[in-house]
Structure formats: structure tokens, C-alpha cells
Amino acid sequence: MNVAVFIQGFVVLLWIAAVALGVMAFARVGRGQPARGLGRLAAALLVLAVIFTTVSAGLVFINPQERGVVISAVAAKGYREDALQPGLRWVVPFAETVVVYPISRQTYTMSSVASEGQVKGDDSIIARTADGQQVNIESSVIYYINPDKVVQVHIAWQSRYNDDLVRPLVRGIIRDAVSQYGVQEVYSGKRNELSQQITTSLNSRLETNGLKLQEFILRNITFSPEYAKSVEEKQVAQQQAEQAKFVVEQRRQEAEQARQVAQGRADAVVIASKGDAEARLIQAQAESQALEKIAQALKDRPELLNYQYISRLAPNMQVMLLPANTPFVLPFPNYGPTQSGGTLNNGNNTTVMPTPVVPTPTTAPTAEPTATPQP
């Protein structure tokens, strides 16, 4: 609870009561009625009111987020060099007064939106870039009074530090910083660098004047309608170029894919051809080796050829004896008795000629054909 405010309220009540009792006392005296008691009570209240008024004038309560500058009629410089710290403080009644300054954070906004900034209407900062383009910058500055320099701020600026110091200082520093960059750099490439440069310069200038910069916020950057239109057209052209490049790349990849597929098919054909050729070569080599082995076997045992001939005959074939001078049969060695009772005698110049036996149908018998060689 603020004791100074309570005492001031109590003083007001004392003065009201003292005045009221004094008026009543004069009224009773005017009617010829006794008013000695009211007069004494009014005088007592008047004395108390004066005393408490004096005490109230000397008591000052400073909140934690505040500092007090004492303007003194008894000090050599006309003010105390040290600001009053938070709490209930005493000053010389009627000879010293206290000006309270906030040391909490304050925000000053300059925006094109009328309801956002301290100044109604468009309060954005108009600046020129290094290449002559106009830009509108919206910003906010968060700052506070240095508690150790409250007296200095009071002497230099009093309560005008917001409008007479912060506002023009920010606007000037932003214009100077923007003039060092091209519009394209301000737009995208070096926006963070621009913001950092403004912050550094602003912090130094505010520090010199007893203020502390908490944060600088570069809210928005807008351009003239002509430049905004040119930027939009440039972006559209870039997007179209990127789209065209994408289409070309897509076509190139499709062509490459088709080439690889064709190459793969050609390689497959070549591999298949090589495989067939190698298979044929292997088969030919195998057949050649087999023929060599067969020739070697026939060279050593020529009768195997007749054996192979006989083994190829069907089980239902019969044999017959023919003269040895038949030109299309092979001579056979003597193998002994045949299954039909004849003999194969190479020494008697006899040959064998197989004769097929036609199966007999179940419905009607047929004559068995025989083959007779021509002389």
C-alpha cells in the first residue's frame, strides 16, 4: 500500500472536516448561539490538516519500475544528483518536488497501419536505396531508460524523450542504413544484415542519451507499385524459366532412359547371339569328339556298325537270307543260328536282309509280305 497516497487522502479529509466545522461555528455565532466547542474542534482539525499536509508533502513512494528525480530549491544545482530508489522516501516539504520516470520497457512503433503506431495514420519510414528506389519501412523499437542516467534524461529531454529523441533518431538511422544497400539486397539478400546494422547504430546513439535499446524489429518493407510490379513480372519469368528447364531435363531423362533401354536390348541380343554361338561351338566340338570316338571304335571293331543296324530294327521285324552279291546290304560275320532257324555265314557268302512284318488285323488275316532282291 502506498503510504504517501493514504496520508494525502487523510489530509484532504482533515481539511474538509476543519472547513465544515469552521463554517458551522460561524453560522452559530451569527445566530447568537454558543459555538465555542465547534470553534475549538475546527481549530484542532485545522492544525492537524496543516501538520499532515506538511508530512504528505515530504513523503514520496517510488514503485519498483520507477525512479524519482528530485528538483530541489535547497540544492546547489537545483536538483539532487542521485535519483530516488524504489520505496517510501523523504524530501524537504515544499522545497523539493519529485518527477517520476519509468524504467520499464517501452515500445515505439512506426507503421503504415493507423491503429498500430503512436502516430495515427501512415507513419512508415520512406527511404531511398543505393540505386534510387523508394522503399517504405515499418519498424518497432523496444527500449528503456537507463536507471543510472534518469537524472541525465530529465535534464536533456524531460518527458519529451519519446517523441523528440527516439522517433527522429530511429527514422534517421534507418534512412542512412537503407541508402547503403541496393533494392534487391534490401528485399531479400541482406535484410538481416541491414537490421543488424540499424540495431548496432541505434544502440550506440540511445546509450549516449541515457536510454537502453532492448530490441529493434524490422517489421515490414514495401516498395513502390512500379517496382513491385517489375519484381512480380521477374518472379513469373523466373518461374517460367525454371518450368522450361524442368521440362527440358525431364525430356533429357526420358531420352536417356529410352537410350539405356535400347542399349540394354541390343546388349541382350549380342549376349544371346554370343551364347548361341558358344553353344553351337560346344555342340560341334562335342559332336566332333563323339565322331572321333565312334570312328576309333569302328576302326577297332567294324562289326559294331552291323550291331547298331540290327539294334535299330523294331521287335516285330523278321530276317531273310539273300545272296551275298546284293549291292545295298552289308556283309555280316558268322554269328551262329538265327531265331528263325537259318544261319548267317559270311564264309558261305550269305547276307541277311530284314523284312518288316505287318501286324495282322483281328478282322481278316493278310498275307505276310516278303522282299526278293533283283539279280
Question: What is the secondary structure of 219-271 as a DSSP string?
Answer: EEEEE-HHHHHHHHHHHHHHHHHHHHHHHHHHHHHHHHHHHHHHHHHHHHHHH
Which amino acid would we find at residue 211?
Answer: L
8 A C-beta contact, residue 71 and residue 96: yes
Q: What is the pTM of this model?
A: 0.57
> Each residue of 128-156: pLDDT tens digit?
989 888 889 999 999 999 999 999 999 99
User: 24, 14 in Cβ contact below 8 A?
Assistant: no
CA angle 35, 41, 42 (to 5 degrees): 85
More confident residue, 264 or 333: 264
Instruction: Cell numbers for 224, please give them.
Output: 513502390
Percent of the chain exceeding pLDDT 70 equals 77
Nearest Cα neighbor of 140 from 158, 129, 160, 125 is: 125
Cα separations (Å) of 138 from 221, 223, 239?
6, 12, 29
**Which residues on adjacent β-strands are paired with residue 97?**
71
C-alpha cell at 348: 558261305
Q: How many residues comprise the chain?
A: 375
d(CA 259, CA 267): 12
Distances 127 to 24, 109, 132, 223, 352 between C-alpha atoms, Å: 71, 17, 9, 10, 126
Which tens digits make up the pLDDT trace of 43-86?
A: 888 888 888 888 888 889 999 999 999 999 888 889 999 999 99
Closest CA to 41 of 59, 23, 54, 29: 23
CA–CA gap between residue 217 and residue 111 (Å, rounded): 12
Per-residue pLDDT for 187 more than 50?
yes
Task: Please check whether residue 320 is in contact with residue 355, taking contact to mean a CB–CB distance below 8 angstroms.
Answer: yes
Answer with the residue of higher pLDDT: 295 or 201.
201
β-pair type (87-90, 59-62): antiparallel
pLDDT band at 228 (very low <50, low <70, confident <90, very high): low
Those residues with Cβ within 8 angstroms of residue 115's Cβ, 6 or more apart along the chain or in another chain: none
Q: Which of 145, 141, 176, 139 is CA-nearest to residue 161?
A: 145
